[in-house]
Structure 1
Amino acid sequence: MQMKSNGRLSGRRYTSLLASVITLPLSTVMAGMSTTALAEQAAPEPAAVLEEVVVTATKTPHTLKDVPVETLVVDQEDIEQSNAQNVMELLSTVPGITTAVHDDIFGTYTWRASLRGLNFNDGYALILIDGQRVMGSGQSGGMGEYGIGLNQIPVEMIERIEVVKGPGSALYGSDAVAGVINIITRKTPDRPTARAGGAYGWYKVKERVRNGIVEKPSDDGESRNIARAYVSFGDHPLDRLGYLIHYDYESAEDIGADPIKSDRHSVMAKVDLAASNRLDLYFKGEASKYEKMDNREEDSFRLSAGFEHHPADDQVLAVKGYTYNWDFVHGYPGYAYGYKHGAIGFDQIETQHTWYTNERNTLVTGVEAQQQTIDYTIENSDGSIITVQEDITTCSLYGQDEITLLDDLVLVAGLRYDDHSTFGSRVNPKLSLMYSLTEDTVFRASAGQAFKSPTIRQLYYSAPYRHGSFYAQSNPDLKPETATGYSASLEQWLLGRSLMLNLGLFRNEVDDMVVREDTGTLYDGLPLLVYRNVEEAVTQGVELLARLERRDFSLTATYTYTDSENRDTGKELTYVPRHSFSLVPAYEWSQWNLGISSTLTCTGRQYTDADNTEQIDAHTVVDAKMYLKLSDKARISLELDNIFDSDKGDEGNFRTGRTILVKLDASF
């Protein structure tokens, strides 16, 4: 790892939301959260790494060496050296993030990925694109019509990913319980720049064993294919005007018993305008079309626009608006797992004011309004019909004060007030500090509160819905989950700052966690499960990272220990391994324009059921990559995933075996 629906709904929601925000105070918010970044395989000069600027942790810019909140960064060089075909795989070796249950194949699900033992798909970690909240969908790896997946956009559109650990509701509101993942897209170039590339690969699906019976995929012995292609162009035709247009295509054939082709076409366009020396404007649009053969179709778009005004040298006023719409059709009439069709939308307006009151104090205030619109239908195979039509609105105020008390001590205090249309008002505080013991030794710590409202499925469905081999029933009496999180880390640089060691500790206490429990009854011949709140769940653990960087060589090692418990039952939480380890060496022969890297990940056993009677065994997976620079503008690479054909400890499910991918990238 390298760290360092329909269109008519959107217009109605966006207009009403904008009107509601204009009536709120305009002094607002865009505080960025401090960060500590880690680069994984790349071997840039350490000084250059430390000067990288991050914004997510405090909503204000900081260099990596100055951010008071623990943050890891997967940067562009890390992405280029990685084998990853999606965002989930890019994050697979970040300490505290678990993705081992999944495969690096486009179109597959990511609903068991977690951060510090808490699940992304259920909303315990907030996912952003360019600082703006995203909704889940099947194409992103989220489960069904409600889940939140990591794979929101293609890898080739990404500039870097900032991972902020610890509770983030003081700045970002609901869902930022375990942390925040901010996927930052490529910026408009300073000069005419074109990029293009493609990849093609082969993989086989391994047999599965259930109840002692071996089941082979229908194409056993044959290879399935994965393909990618992209092209982008950008320029700065005027001193003050820049633009970027990017198109991406992805395709694969799933990992189930039968090959099922998935395709996604994605387009992104950006325009930046420096209207004056004190006013910058931007516009960004994203659209995608996804289809999984005979099973699902999805269309989505994101539009965002805003400006940043500097009324004085020590003040910044930022205003931005954002709308997202997702139309989907899952299944078909009579489909055993339900026919689902409709739309989900999300709109957001935010104003943020940043005031550098003096060189030792930065004050951030903000106001924000969000509205989620749900309008879809589920037709179960038994003839029952579920309609979901809801508008959920949240209005928020937040503030943050960053104070440098001494040259070596920085305190950041934040507070956010949220008014939720379903669950009422809530206040979430957070306090962070950074203390530089020496030039090469930095201590960071934070404590804060966070909350998460129940998901659509957990709360709003009027009848049981089919999910795999059971039916589940929503519970309108669910309470929102609340959490208190603590984290601390010690960062130490050695050997002329070529070796970095980081030790981190964390603890999350989640009250009223929503779980799914078996009622002991049947519905339409299958077990019926219901959602309910449990008293408390706890995750805690240790994260270790070591990174050595030389001129042509880098080595990154990570280890995470996670202890989890459902306090109602005394059992461990599902899909949370106690131990995980990764090792990522990389070397480049500059004189030959040749490079090689490898990723070894070891994952401990993890339970798959609430009773802790079934499990995925401990396992090890090894990937490797070799690349040749054909020129300064072109590179060809050979990527091998799962070299030793591991079943990933999960013989009860179809999993990918060895995967081979050939890739060509060029710029002009």
Structure 2
Amino acid sequence: MKLFFTIILFLSVGISATFSQKNSISGKVTSAGEPLPYVNIYLKKTKLGTSTNENGFYRIKNIPDGKYTLILSSVGFKTKSVKVMFSSGKAISRSFILDESNSLDEIVVSGTLKPVTKANSPVPIEVYSKTFFKKNPTPSIFESLQNVNGVRPQLNCNVCNTGDIHINGLEGPYTFVLIDGMPIVSGLSTVYGLTGIPQALIERVEVVKGPASTLYGSEAVGGIINIITRKPSNSPALSTDTFGSSWGEINTDIGLRYKLSEKIQGLLGVNYFNFQNRIDNNNDGFTDLTLQNRISIFNKVDIRRENGKTFTIAGRYVYEDRWGGETNWKKEFRGTDVIYGESIYTNRWETFGTYQLPTTKNINFQFSANGHHQNSIYGTDFYDADQFIAFGQFIFNKNIKENQDLTLGLAYRYTFYDDNTFATKDTNGVNNQPSITHLPGIFVQDEISLNKNNKLLLGARWDYNSLHGSIFSPRVNYKWNSKDNSDIFRISIGNGFRVANVFTEDHAALTGAREVVFDGELNPETSWNTNLNYVKKFYPGNSIITLDASAFYTYFDNRILPDYDTDPNKIIYANLEGHSISKGISLNTDIMFLNGLAINAGATLMDVSITENGIKTRQPLTESFSGVWSISYSFLNDFKIDYTGNIYGPMRLPLLSDTDPRASESPWYSIQNIQLSKRFSNSWEIYGGVKNLLDFTPAANSIARSFDPFDKQVVFDQNGQAMATPNNPNALTFDPSYVYASNQGIRGFIGLRYTVF
């Protein structure tokens, strides 16, 4: 009998163990045939969840019997929900495909200062994920933006290759660049700030086209580029990306997640770029590509507080040594008139963060500070500048009603700027007098949901500039969407303003080629902008198609433009006695097929003009048409091919005089690239390809009189104008400002990525 009960007990335990066995689900998550790492996967209304690893695989174990909703979400991709039934210790294998970047459900923050889905944002925002930029790997985010429709990286100098970002034809100083929503890249660093951001740490880039001064203040006139970095909590333990080119460029990105304690996580990033080859393929005696040695260190820390409030702080340090010039230039010639060179030393530090106040109200304190020192030589002209900017703002957000969301902000910016030019001299031009600007401001934004299909956004900002007085910036945004969000229409009207500092923003003002002249006091620029946006999404066959069309119109008063034409030996800066208009239309198309083919294409047609004294002219260095494309296809075992490119229409170029033999317009030109990549299951990925397939470079005579950079053989008249001589029949002077594209031709590249989850 005792043996009988022992057997019964043993069988009961076995049966109980069998029926209490837990369920599991596992599989792979992909997009356009490529594995998606770090996708959040969880069972709704439970604490069960996980994230995909670097190869897109996931597994959730110990799931009790029952019916569940499985949620898959990742920034830059459309959230997916799936019904799943578990019973009797079932092990389910399920793989999923998520829509790639630019889907309507992406989370964005740039338009309203708070996270909302892209479809619900009343402000049209374009989002580009890290996957998008990997299709054409570059040493800096500055170059990566060449494949964004309506955005063009513009080189401002043939010699030192500094540049800025144009949005819809507007010059670089009109573009406001932020990191994690903080105004980091501005003023003196505009030219250099987009280089050295470790791309291994970039989660996505948000682009807003048109004035956003209501939320961001001065400089946000042409648009916003907001670089969103990864959170330490969803970053890989280690990520490395190294590539080199046949020209000798070497670029390395390293990202490392670390944990200081249970409550403190950090993310460390390092970018190193080096190029030291003196290449002169166009035989003009000058380097075709600036030699560079750059290192950038980025650190971001998230502190988990007991009350669940946010506290994030980050910092970055950048050092760069770059030079370009005659190929036999050496450091010993820096600042002399023996051999021409442009040498720039840059030291820059930044810190920024967000602290949510420990109150029952939703109040955030956002802060940033940066210091920038630049030591530059342009031929014999020395430019030494220091800039310090401190910024802080309180943001209060409250839902007044179910359909009304109110945001109030109180901001302050302090700017210190000093250099060795007459820009910081006193009124007598004798004593040094650094520029100090105080800019307090207050803004309000009211987002009203009229109903499920209509939303209205009202905003206004008041700033007081200590040098120029009060500035008021209102804006209105309206959005309509269909019930299923397959159709979205937006209209926005806004005002922008900008207080200019020529020496911190325009590289042409620094070169030794022309004398800088200010015609009167420079007043703040103002603009009014209207933007119409329509988004259509539909699903024909085995594909997803998104159409995004926009029309824009911007009217400027007091615009400040460099005048190259009045005097070939001068750059004259003055407020425009008239107006300037930027108008045009753009279209973006995303087509994703379930077979692994993805197509992204866009085109912008625009007219940027200047009207002064009744005469209308095209703005220099601005194309009337531009187009971009990206075609990707995944095949075989984790092979992928990417074909990217852009095309630009003619631009009006700055000539020295009517006798200048150089072309007055640039030709149509296209930069095209191809890449083949292979991912291995052990977290390795190898890639390589060819850049500038068509081997396009500007004309060899882009630099006027490159053989006489100090104008030693030029004869000037009593008014300082160059005279025609047998050695100089066209009466030219040395001029490196005639530039619209890089002199870097076709080249191969190869790279390697390694990631540990």
Bucket of the pairwise TM-score, normalised by the shorter protein? 0.7 to 0.9
Match of residue 622 from structure 2: 576
Compared with structure 1, are the counterparts of its residues 388 and 579 closer, same or farther at alpha carbon in structure 2 (3 Å cutoff)? farther
2 CA distance for matches of 1:376 and 1:248? Answer: 29
SS across alignment from 1:275: coil
Return the match for 1:452 from 498, 501, 504. 498
Check conservation: 1:127, 1:180, Cα contact below 8 A: yes
Q: CA deviation at 1:86?
A: 2.0
% same residue: 18
Check conservation: 1:617, 1:649, Cα contact below 8 A: no
Deviations 1:526-581 (A, max 9, x none): 44634343321001000011110123110011110011110113001112111112
Structure 1 alignment gaps of length 5 or more: 3-35, 143-147, 204-224
- Deviation larger for 352-361 or 658-667: 352-361
1 CA distance for matches of 2:443 and 2:505? Answer: 27
1 CA distance for matches of 2:510 and 2:689? Answer: 39
2 CA distance for matches of 1:385 and 1:529? Answer: 22
Match of residue 531 from structure 1: 574
1 CA distance for matches of 2:397 and 2:181? Answer: 16
Higher relative contact order (CA 8 A, sep 6+): 1
Match of residue 110 from structure 1: 163
Compared with structure 1, are the counterparts of its residues 149 and 475 closer, same or farther at alpha carbon in structure 2 (3 Å cutoff)? farther
Match of residue 320 from structure 1: 366
- Deviation larger for 83-92 or 486-495: 83-92
Compared with structure 1, are the counterparts of its residues 528 and 555 closer, same or farther at alpha carbon in structure 2 (3 Å cutoff)? closer
2 CA distance for matches of 1:288 and 1:153? Answer: 9
Structure 2 alignment gaps of length 5 or more: 1-31, 33-74, 79-96, 281-285, 324-330, 332-342, 424-428, 704-741
Q: CA deviation at 1:469?
A: 2.4
Return the match for 1:247 from 267, 270, 289. 270
Partner AA of 2:348 in structure 1: S
Q: Greater CA radius of gyration, 1 or 2?
A: 2
Check conservation: 2:275, 2:293, Cα contact below 8 A: yes
Compared with structure 1, are the counterparts of its residues 307 and 62 closer, same or farther at alpha carbon in structure 2 (3 Å cutoff)? same
- Deviation larger for 539-548 or 237-246: 237-246
1 CA distance for matches of 2:652 and 2:77? Answer: 30
Match of residue 77 from structure 1: 131
Q: CA deviation at 1:81?
A: 2.3
Return the match for 2:347 from 287, 294, 299. 299
Match of residue 628 from structure 1: 678
Match of residue 692 from structure 2: 642
2 CA distance for matches of 1:649 and 1:490? Answer: 40
Compared with structure 1, are the counterparts of its residues 485 and 46 closer, same or farther at alpha carbon in structure 2 (3 Å cutoff)? same
Compared with structure 1, are the counterparts of its residues 44 and 632 closer, same or farther at alpha carbon in structure 2 (3 Å cutoff)? farther
**Aligned ranges 1:292-441 → 2 under 5 Å:** 292-293=322-323, 294=331, 295-309=343-357, 311-312=359-360, 315-331=361-377, 336-378=379-421, 387=432, 389-439=434-484, 440-441=486-487
**Aligned ranges 1:175-214 → 2 under 5 Å:** 175-190=219-234, 193-203=237-247
1 CA distance for matches of 2:200 and 2:521? Answer: 43
Q: CA deviation at 1:431?
A: 0.5
Compared with structure 1, are the counterparts of its residues 416 and 37 closer, same or farther at alpha carbon in structure 2 (3 Å cutoff)? farther
Q: TM-score, normalised by structure 1?
A: 0.81
Match of residue 93 from structure 1: 147
2 CA distance for matches of 1:603 and 1:368? Answer: 39
Higher strand share: 1
Match of residue 26 from structure 1: none
Deviations 1:55-79 (A, max 9, x none): 1110011112211111111112112
Match of residue 21 from structure 1: none
Compared with structure 1, are the counterparts of its residues 528 and 87 closer, same or farther at alpha carbon in structure 2 (3 Å cutoff)? closer
Match of residue 7 from structure 1: none
Match of residue 314 from structure 2: 284
For the pair 1:273 / 2:307, whether they are aligned, the reply is no
For the pair 1:65 / 2:119, whether they are aligned, the reply is yes
Deviations 1:264-323 (A, max 9, x none): 1111111111212342212211111111253221111001233124744xx421012211
2 CA distance for matches of 1:247 and 1:605? Answer: 38
Compared with structure 1, are the counterparts of its residues 467 and 543 closer, same or farther at alpha carbon in structure 2 (3 Å cutoff)? same
Partner AA of 2:574 in structure 1: Y
Return the match for 1:54 from 91, 108, 111. 108
Match of residue 340 from structure 2: none
Q: CA deviation at 1:190?
A: 4.5
Compared with structure 1, are the counterparts of its residues 412 and 465 closer, same or farther at alpha carbon in structure 2 (3 Å cutoff)? closer
Partner AA of 1:367 in structure 2: L
Compared with structure 1, are the counterparts of its residues 435 and 106 closer, same or farther at alpha carbon in structure 2 (3 Å cutoff)? farther
Partner AA of 1:242 in structure 2: Q
Match of residue 177 from structure 2: 127
Check conservation: 2:183, 2:368, Cα contact below 8 A: no
1 CA distance for matches of 2:113 and 2:214? Answer: 11
Q: CA deviation at 1:102?
A: 8.2
Compared with structure 1, are the counterparts of its residues 459 and 247 closer, same or farther at alpha carbon in structure 2 (3 Å cutoff)? closer
For the pair 1:596 / 2:641, whether they are aligned, the reply is yes
1 CA distance for matches of 2:563 and 2:510? Answer: 15
Compared with structure 1, are the counterparts of its residues 579 and 99 closer, same or farther at alpha carbon in structure 2 (3 Å cutoff)? same
Return the match for 1:171 from 206, 215, 230. 215
Compared with structure 1, are the counterparts of its residues 620 and 434 closer, same or farther at alpha carbon in structure 2 (3 Å cutoff)? same
Q: CA deviation at 1:408?
A: 0.1
Q: CA deviation at 1:240?
A: 3.3
Check conservation: 2:259, 2:265, Cα contact below 8 A: yes
Match of residue 231 from structure 1: 254
Compared with structure 1, are the counterparts of its residues 301 and 128 closer, same or farther at alpha carbon in structure 2 (3 Å cutoff)? same
SS across alignment from 2:134: helix
CA RMSD in angstroms comes to 3.3
SS across alignment from 1:189: helix
Partner AA of 1:641 in structure 2: K
Match of residue 10 from structure 2: none
Match of residue 489 from structure 2: 443
Q: TM-score, normalised by structure 2?
A: 0.72
Return the match for 1:517 from 555, 560, 563. 563
Check conservation: 2:184, 2:350, Cα contact below 8 A: no
Check conservation: 1:368, 1:396, Cα contact below 8 A: yes
Check conservation: 2:535, 2:548, Cα contact below 8 A: yes
SS across alignment from 1:118: coil
Match of residue 10 from structure 1: none
1 CA distance for matches of 2:102 and 2:669? Answer: 36
Q: CA deviation at 1:521?
A: 6.3
Deviations 1:633-658 (A, max 9, x none): 11111031101211257862671110
Match of residue 200 from structure 2: 156
Q: CA deviation at 1:252?
A: 2.2
Partner AA of 2:491 in structure 1: A
2 CA distance for matches of 1:102 and 1:554? Answer: 34
1 CA distance for matches of 2:230 and 2:700? Answer: 36
SS across alignment from 1:156: helix
Q: CA deviation at 1:195?
A: 1.4
- Deviation larger for 443-452 or 489-498: 489-498
**Aligned ranges 1:432-581 → 2 under 5 Å:** 432-439=477-484, 440-457=486-503, 467-475=511-519, 477-495=521-539, 498-517=544-563, 526-527=569-570, 529-551=572-594, 552-568=596-612, 569-581=615-627
SS across alignment from 2:220: coil
Check conservation: 2:200, 2:240, Cα contact below 8 A: no
Partner AA of 1:128 in structure 2: L
Deviations 1:187-246 (A, max 9, x none): 21357701123111123xxxxxxxxxxxxxxxxxxxxx2111132211356553211111
- Deviation larger for 534-543 or 182-191: 182-191
